[in-house]
Amino acid sequence: MNFLSVIIYLILAFLLLYRLQYRRAESEEEYFQRFNSLRGLFAIEIVVGHVIRYDSTWLYPLGKFMLVSVAFFFFVSGWGLCRSFHHKRDYLTCFLTAKCGYLLLLSIYAFLLRYIMWIVTGNSNAKENLFIQYFHKTNWYIWELLFFYLLFYLVYKFIPARLRNTLIVVITFLCATVLFGIGALQGYYMSALAFPAGLLFHEHFDSVMSFLRRGVGKIVVLTAAGLGLTSALLGADSLIGMVYLRNLLCLAVLGIMIFFLGYFRPGNTFLKFLGKYSTGIYIYQFMFLTLDKDLQATWPQRMGLALGCTLLISVIMQPVHNWTKKKLGRGKD
């Protein structure tokens, strides 16, 4: 099984490095395209991490790296929303239906497919209240991203420009602190600051890049990464470790990615394929992660089942996603 672990590491490395080009990014648009090109890779990493995070394998670090992968999606989401707000006329006019409505419908599609799976496999969850099960079984990421969408909409629509992102940072910081205090799932707060970081990165792109390109910027990022890693020493009951240091670690790794993607352009057929279905990969993985637990299979078997079935259902559902976008007026944003 260690051999299989090495193979999986090699596949992930291949996805990143195959046809990687040394070419400096000259604009914010190029940086955004390069980040977006990695969506599929990070989606696959999250599936792999979910499968093996409780197993003693060489892949165990990928279960921990999921923290950064989720932060990547929050960062790109915030960045993309801010870009669209500034570059697309009347972007907020249909925002609630086009973005929030779309996300809710995808969560409903995922739950209905999961419910069908329960019926087919005879899972006892199929006998429970459908409405309650939807809210209970839908992944936390959907609810947090929906919260960020609504927060973005309200702040950018009603708050003066000079206060917008400061307010979002403060609200996110306070919410993460409170969620830790009330014992919410760790996912809700460990990488939450990546979303407002994406907003700020677009709003202050030139200033941030100027800082990161200087020696002091690189030292700050590496020091932040080192401090973030110390969160592992503090335990799950530490507010500083679980909220502040882990968010700091996520932001530091994103800073390292910005530096790396400033010089290298990823892009190959496989990344493009996975990127096209990255939303589906993230949303539909959970129905198969639950199924493979019921089967009590070994982790290689669970890995094959989760990755294969998730990718298959993502491809099948993509036309439904496209139809939903069209009906809600999203187009190809």
Mean pLDDT over residues 20-45, rounded?
97
Decide if 77 is inside a domain: yes
- What b/e string do you get for 105-121 counting C-beta neighbours within 10 Å, with b at 16 or more? bbbebbbebbbebbeee
* Neighbour-count burial for 305-323, b at 16+ CB within 10 Å, e otherwise: bbbebbbebbeebeeebee
Report DSSP state, residue 330.
Answer: -
How many structural domains are present in the chain? Answer: 1
Q: Is the pLDDT of residue 296 over 80?
A: no
Is residue 186 included in any domain, yes or no? yes
Residue among 210, 303, 326 at smallest CA distance from 258:
210
Task: Please check whether residue 7 lies inside any domain of the structure.
Answer: no
Q: What is the DSSP letter of 223?
A: H
| Measured CA angle at 141 (ends 136, 142), to 5 deg | 70
- DSSP letter assigned to residue 167: H
The per-residue pLDDT for 332 is 42
**Structural domain includes residue 315:** yes
Cα–Cα distances in angstroms (integers) from residue 162 to residues 165, 206, 332, in the given order: 8, 17, 30
| 57 assigned to some structural domain | yes
Please report the pLDDT score of residue 1 as a whole number.
65
- From 101-110, 116-125, 159-168, 218-227, the region with the lowest mean pLDDT: 116-125
- Across the range 218-247, mean pLDDT stands at 96
Classify residue 261: in a domain, yes or no: yes
* Mean per-residue pLDDT, 246-256: 98
Tens digit of each residue's pLDDT (9 = 90 or more) over 103-138: 999 999 999 999 998 898 888 888 888 889 999 889
Which residues constitute the domain of residue 167? 28-328
- CB contact at 8 A, 296 and 258: no
Residue 169 CB partners (closer than 8 Å, separation 6+): 193, 196, 200
pLDDT higher than 70, residue 295:
no
pLDDT at position 333: 46
Structure tokens at 240: 């500083």
Q: What is the pLDDT of residue 294?
A: 59
Would you say residue 20 lies in a domain?
no
Residue 3 maps to a domain: no
